Amino acid sequence: MRRVRLLTILATLLVLLMPTAQAAKVVTIGIVTDGPIEHISWSPELFKKELRVLTQADFDVRSPAAKQLGGAWSAGHIAAALKQLQKDPEVDMVLALGYVSSAVAALSGSLRKLTFAPFVMDAGLQGLPRKNNTSGVRNLNYLSGEADFIRDLMVFKSVADFKKAAVFIDVHRNGVTQKCTQKWGQVSMLFG
């Protein structure tokens, strides 16, 4: 179900690029990943393949290797890669494929290119922009799972009445935002 939603949103974004003439328009997609991707259920290749199948009647979707950038598991590197693709005149659309890449893209503010961030976890906790079921940010589309960490933690507390919980976050590596840090402070207040 989630895969169908992802691909439907991507195809819709590509329709926004559709030319008025009938010829298939070349659309170059830049991809930012959190880091090297191995042994997971999705990959940039899967996204590219599905996009080609869904849009082949209208678009010639391309994603050259030079437009696929890894973020070296660092929010700073991911932000630099995202910025590079946003400025690249040969790129029409950017995919942020990864949890950190999606968060960095969603928190980047105004974007020059259509940008899709399909792996957002708990948008509320991360303080991501949201306006009337949209991002409210020009050229940004993100897909957020229904995760609600605070709710889940409270349910867990109701089942196992614990006094302390520890959550480990590498703020330097994963680019945790100030808003997210403030939310964690609020969570700690709930538990005393």
Q: Report pLDDT digits (tens) over 134-186.
A: 777 889 888 877 667 777 777 887 888 877 777 666 655 455 556 666 666 66
- Answer for the pair 140, 114: CB distance below 8 angstroms, yes or no: no
Burial class (CB in 10 A: 0-12, 13-18, 19+), 168: exposed
Measured from the Cβ of residue 186, the count of other Cβ atoms closer than 10 Å reads: 10
Say what the alpha-carbon torsion angle 73, 125, 118, 30 is, to the nearest 10 degrees. -50
The alpha carbon dihedral of 5, 11, 12, 13 has a sign of positive
Give the predicted TM-score (pTM) of the model. Answer: 0.72
Residue 108 makes CB contacts below 8 A (sequence gap 6+) with 79, 82, 115, 140
Q: Map out the domains of the chain with their CATH numbers.
A: 2-147 (3.40.50)
The alpha carbon dihedral of 19, 16, 63, 91 has a sign of positive
Q: Does residue 14 surpass a pLDDT of 80?
A: no
Q: Give per-residue pLDDT as tens, 2-11.
A: 665 665 666 6
pLDDT band (50, 70, 90) for residue 93: very high
Q: Give per-residue pLDDT as tens, 53-86.
A: 888 888 899 999 999 999 998 889 999 999 999 9
Q: Looking at residue 80, what is its pLDDT?
A: 95
Helices (H), the chain: 2-16, 44-55, 75-87, 99-106, 123-126, 149-159, 171-174, 178-190
